[in-house]
Structure 1
């Protein structure tokens, strides 16, 4: 298991982390004292966030919650729409692109076209606009994507995700580490999910992780890991479906990723092919004409009789509407979908969320 001795820190940035932490603590105290206002809303608002910058798996966990709830309730997802090229409040439609609403919201909208999805950096305004929709479209439940630090909204239920390989209790504040807030901010959450766990963890390892986090009695802890599905064509009208295990050892694969941690994605592909060419870009990278030119040159050097391109779901959302996307790739480019599974107690997680929603709908939001 990871510990503070195994995580790399840039100790030369410790003074900057100190002043950053001082500013965050002052801001949090202003909210705690009511000097800065936190607004509550008359519907369940479930926040899925984290303490750390970088990928902890918010999107697949949000998708799990959507699948759990969408048959019971009208669901709305509200996101900031990180890296979008628009501003203000946008209620998404099928005509929006990832440039309009951001790659992760676009990915969710593609998978769940029947839910309501909106983006707004001002989460209060976003929720107010959602609650002003006509009655037959007004959400019963709002999922707040990555809004834990947006304290102007008081969620009715807060879920914090933490990466098994870099758990919050072993991390340090930005810029020395990855934490957006001091560790004590974990007290504001109702639930912690340790994500990206190894498949073969022993029961004692779960108990040690729980003890190390020093959570409050009411705070629930769950553990999940990522699982990969079969390949899915980015352009299903052009490309044929592919089963991941049908990739042969000598087939060449160009694996393109612009995510926080591409290693698991690349390792999964390397389980099937021994000829994987990896092209990594910064998280949320906006692919340029030159990027596609360079990648095409790599692809054209691949000499196997069977070759294909595999990208992450998030990157597929970003590149499929890119004006520089090579037309000749459409028949050979696939995504590698991911989802999450719980290490035990999945039913408990489901019951907790549904019970919370029913309580809020029946009694309203109280402290």
Structure 2
């Protein structure tokens, strides 16, 4: 443990204690946790920062659509400048919706309603009223939102930064203690190497199961990166030398992928997660681009780069985003597919 984290442990214990009391009140019914007529699927994590929630939510939504369900996505809308419930529309931007909900809207359009609301109870209730044919709601980043009781709770943790080696804020990056994993119905270890050996998977699963309920599946997923997608008019064929622009928590896997497939990153403009790009930021990127170079970014960052106030400066750059799809190792996809299918099967009456 780093020395600074060691000195911060007393504050971490205090924070963990506050969260433990809060969870105990919900677990024992002293604070109300609402259930709903439609199944509610929560995708979240214990750790602050990127564990891959957005692409995993997209995987779940695509699978629900493939099974004939009519899902909606509900998020808090982190980083937006609006308040209250809001249903995504074509006029929305990252400023009005948040970058991740906007990405979901761009991915699924009118096929899947996407909404934001700080209060998930209000959000689910309003969605159900507005969308009578709705059959399920997928909550993006709601693991600690105890006012809603999910039908299926999916907990994500990164292979390189698993929750079982971390500490509660501020000594570590956990939002609550490791015991919070007991609420999970399935745990997905994300951002794994595609060829992660079975022996390593078994070892990681054993560590995870120290904190989960007995029998909870532990699955493993990896990223599959797609071909660059242009987002500006002058983005044609990318060359080998590129500038990378990111505003995500952990850009390292993307860097590794680009270098592995033969790109040379001459400059990486790395900003904090959910960074609100400014004209000055883009001007700095322009200054790093040599003649003929293009800029690579993520789809989540692209949602913020396309803000109207940046249109003029962004248009000067050839920008591509690198799409990401989730793939499961071993039989993980079949396991999660079955868990989703079971949500819509009639329950036996005892």
- Fold equivalence (TM over 0.5): yes
Q: Give distance in 1, aligned partners of 2:17 and 2:26.
A: 15
SS in 1 for 2:309: coil
1:174-229 per-residue CA deviation (whole Å, 9 max, x = no partner) reads 11111111111111110000001122221111111111122332311100011110
SS in 2 for 1:112: helix
Question: Tell me, which stretches of 5 or more residues in structure 1 are unaligned?
Answer: none
Give the TM-score normalised by the residue count of structure 2.
0.93
Equivalent residue in structure 1 for 2:285, among 295, 299, 315? 295
Give the TM-score normalised by the residue count of structure 1.
0.89
Q: How far is the alpha carbon of 1:327 from its aligned partner? A: 4.5
* 1:348 lines up with 2:335 in the alignment: yes
Q: Higher mean Cα deviation, 115-124 or 195-204?
A: 195-204
Q: How far is the alpha carbon of 1:352 from its aligned partner? A: 1.7
Equivalent residue in structure 2 for 1:257, among 231, 234, 246? 246
Equivalent residue in structure 1 for 2:325, among 339, 342, 362? 339
Q: Higher mean Cα deviation, 41-50 or 207-216?
A: 207-216
Q: Contact 1:41/1:365 (CA < 8 Å) preserved in 2?
A: no
Q: Contact 1:292/1:325 (CA < 8 Å) preserved in 2?
A: no
Q: Contact 1:196/1:225 (CA < 8 Å) preserved in 2?
A: yes
SS in 2 for 1:94: coil
* 1:286 lines up with 2:276 in the alignment: yes
1:325-354 per-residue CA deviation (whole Å, 9 max, x = no partner) reads 444645611001111111111222211211
Give the alignment of 1:1-367 within 5 angstroms.
Answer: 10-71=5-66, 72-113=68-109, 114-135=111-132, 138-213=133-208, 214=210, 215-235=212-232, 239-240=235-236, 242=237, 247-248=239-240, 252-271=241-260, 272-299=262-289, 302-303=290-291, 306-327=292-313, 329=315, 332-345=318-331, 346-355=333-342, 357-359=343-345, 362-363=346-347
Q: How far is the alpha carbon of 1:13 from its aligned partner? A: 1.1
Q: How far is the alpha carbon of 1:273 from its aligned partner? A: 2.5
Question: Tell me, which stretches of 5 or more residues in structure 2 are unaligned?
Answer: none
Q: Contact 2:286/2:317 (CA < 8 Å) preserved in 1?
A: no
Matched positions, count: 344
SS in 1 for 2:130: coil
Q: Contact 1:254/1:309 (CA < 8 Å) preserved in 2?
A: yes
Q: Contact 2:297/2:321 (CA < 8 Å) preserved in 1?
A: yes
Q: Give distance in 1, aligned partners of 2:24 and 2:57.
A: 29
Q: Give distance in 2, aligned partners of 1:325 and 1:297.
A: 17
Q: Contact 1:43/1:364 (CA < 8 Å) preserved in 2?
A: no
Q: Give distance in 2, aligned partners of 1:154 and 1:365.
A: 21
SS in 2 for 1:129: helix
SS in 1 for 2:327: strand
Q: Cα gap change, 1:285/1:331 in structure 2, threshold over 3 Å: closer, same or farther? A: closer
1:110-150 per-residue CA deviation (whole Å, 9 max, x = no partner) reads 01111011000100000010111253xx4101001111100
Q: Cα gap change, 1:365/1:285 in structure 2, threshold over 3 Å: closer, same or farther? A: farther
SS in 2 for 1:17: helix
